[in-house]
Structure 1
Amino acid sequence: MPAILPGQTDIYALTDARLSLGRPVAEVARALLDAGVRLLQYREKRLPAGAMLEECRELRRMTREAGACFIVNDHVDIAMLVGADGVHVGQDDLPVPEVRRLVGPDMIIGLSTHSPEQALGAVAAGADYIGVGPLFATRTKEDVVAPVGFSYLDWVVANIRLPFVAIGGIKAWNAAEVAAHGADCCALVSALVGAEDIGAAVAEARAAVRAGKAARGRS
C-alpha cells in the first residue's frame, strides 16, 4: 500500500492521551480511523518506551487494516520496530539525513518547520513533507515555539513544492481560513481527540477544510 502524504488527504490527526477524556489511545485511534482519517501520528511524550512500543504496535495493526498512513513522532527506533509508514521529527531531533540512514529509502520523514530558512533546509535535507506552524497559539506541546501566523504559511505556499501540513492551534472554526490560505491538509489534536463525538468532530473539520479550499478557488 503506497503511503499517504499531506495533500493527498485533508485531515492529519495526532494522538494525545492527556486530552482524550480518559479514553485509551487505541480507542481514540479507532474512532478517528472509523471517521475516515487516513493520516495518523502517534505523539505521546510521557510514557515509558516499552509502553509506547506496545501502543504503536496496536495502532500499526489498526492503521494497516484501515488503509491509513501511520507516523510515529520523534521515536525513530519505535517507528522502525513497528514498521510504521513514517517518522516525524523536530528541529532539535536527529537531522533528516541521519534519520534517512537509519530508516532506509522507503519510510516517510516529516520535519517540523517554523521559518522560511527551516523550510528550505528541509528541502535540502531530503524531507518528504514539512509541518508548517504553529499557526496559532497551542497548548498541546510543552516546548512549542511562538505562533508563526499566516505570513509563513503564505510563503510556503508560494515557494515550497514539498507536501506540507499546517499545524498548531487549528480547530474547526479556523480551519477554513487556514485552507483558504493554501493548506490542503490540516493537523488537529485537541479538536479531535478531546471531542465527545470524534466522528462528528472529524466531519466538522473536514467540512471546514473543504469550504476553505472552495473559497480559495473563487478568489
Structure 2
Amino acid sequence: MMDRPFSARRKTDGLYLVTDRSLCGRRSVEEVVSMAVQGGAAWVQLREKDLATRPFVEEARRLKALLFPLGVPLIINDRLDVVLASEADGIHLGQEDMPYETARRLLGPKAIIGLSVESWEDVVQAQSLDVDYLGVSPVFATPTKRDTKAPWGLEGLARIRAFSRHSLVAIGGISRENAGAVIRAGADRIAVVSAICAASDPFRAARDLCHDIAEAQGKGAPAGTQRERP
C-alpha cells in the first residue's frame, strides 16, 4: 500500500462520494469522480456490486492513479482482494462482510477501515474497535440502499454522536435539502450517491454540497468550492 500524502485520521470532515455506475448515465465512473473531486469531494468509495473481479481491479487502479496526486483517499466497498490488488487506501465493511479484526490484520495499521452501523447493537459493538469511521446507514430511506434496516433519522444520528468515540459518515437519502441538518445532528462527513452520480453536473453538485457542509459547520465556504470548473 502506497504512502499517501494525507492523514486519514486527521481529515475527518467533508464530502464523501460513493459511486454507482448505473446512475452515471453516459459518463464513466472516472469522469464523474473527477468532476466531483474538482468540485470538492474529499473521499471516494468505489462500490461495484455486479462487476467481475478483473474489471473491478482495473477500475480501482485507474481511480487510484487519478486520486493519489490529489491526496484524496480511495476506499473500496467490501472487497479486500480489490483493495490489495489496486493499492487502494482502505475498505468499507458492512455488518455481513469480513470481520473488522481480520481486515485490519490483512491490511495493516495504515489502511482506512470504515464500518456500517445499522442498529444500536452495531454502534455499541463498534465502540471497542479501532475503525477509522462509522457509516451511519441509512439516515433517511433511499432506493440506493435496499438491504438495510429502518432509517436512523436525525434523532438517531444525534444519539450515536453523543455515544460514539468514532468519526461519523452519514449516508442514505442525503441531498442539499437536508445536508446541513445532518451535519448539525452530528455527522463529520456526508456520503452521497445519487446526489452526485445522477446529477446533470457532478462538479456543481459536489461544490454546492461542500458549501452546505462548511456552512453547517460554521466554517464558511471551503477553499476551492466557489470556483468555476477548470
TM-score (norm 2): 0.88
- Residues 47-196 of structure 1 correspond to what in structure 2 (within 5 A)? 47-196=51-200
- Structure 1 Cα separation of the partners of residues 6 and 127 of structure 2: 21
The alignment partner of 2:213 has SS state of helix
CA contact (8 A) 2:134 2:166 kept: yes
- Structure 2 Cα separation of the partners of residues 13 and 6 of structure 1: 18
- Structure 2 Cα separation of the partners of residues 68 and 188 of structure 1: 16
CA contact (8 A) 2:67 2:74 kept: yes
Q: 1:138 to 1:192 in 2, by over 3 A?
A: same
Aligned mate of 1:34, from 16, 38, 43: 38
The Cα shift of 1:6 comes to 8.5
Alignment length, in residue pairs? 215
Aligned alpha-carbon RMSD (Å): 1.7
The Cα shift of 1:177 comes to 1.0
Identity among equivalent pairs (%): 37
The alignment partner of 1:87 has SS state of strand
Aligned mate of 1:204, from 204, 208, 219: 208
* Letter aligned with residue 153 of structure 1: L
- Structure 2 Cα separation of the partners of residues 41 and 120 of structure 1: 25
Partner of 1:43: 47
The Cα shift of 1:206 comes to 1.5
The alignment partner of 1:125 has SS state of coil
Aligned mate of 1:25, from 25, 29, 34: 29
CA shift digits 1:190-217 (9 cap, x unpaired): 00111111111012111222232339xx
- Structure 2 Cα separation of the partners of residues 170 and 76 of structure 1: 27
Unaligned runs of 5+ residues in structure 2 are 220-230
Unaligned runs of 5+ residues in structure 1 are none
CA contact (8 A) 2:145 2:172 kept: no
CA contact (8 A) 2:155 2:185 kept: no
The Cα shift of 1:128 comes to 1.8
- Structure 1 Cα separation of the partners of residues 24 and 148 of structure 2: 20
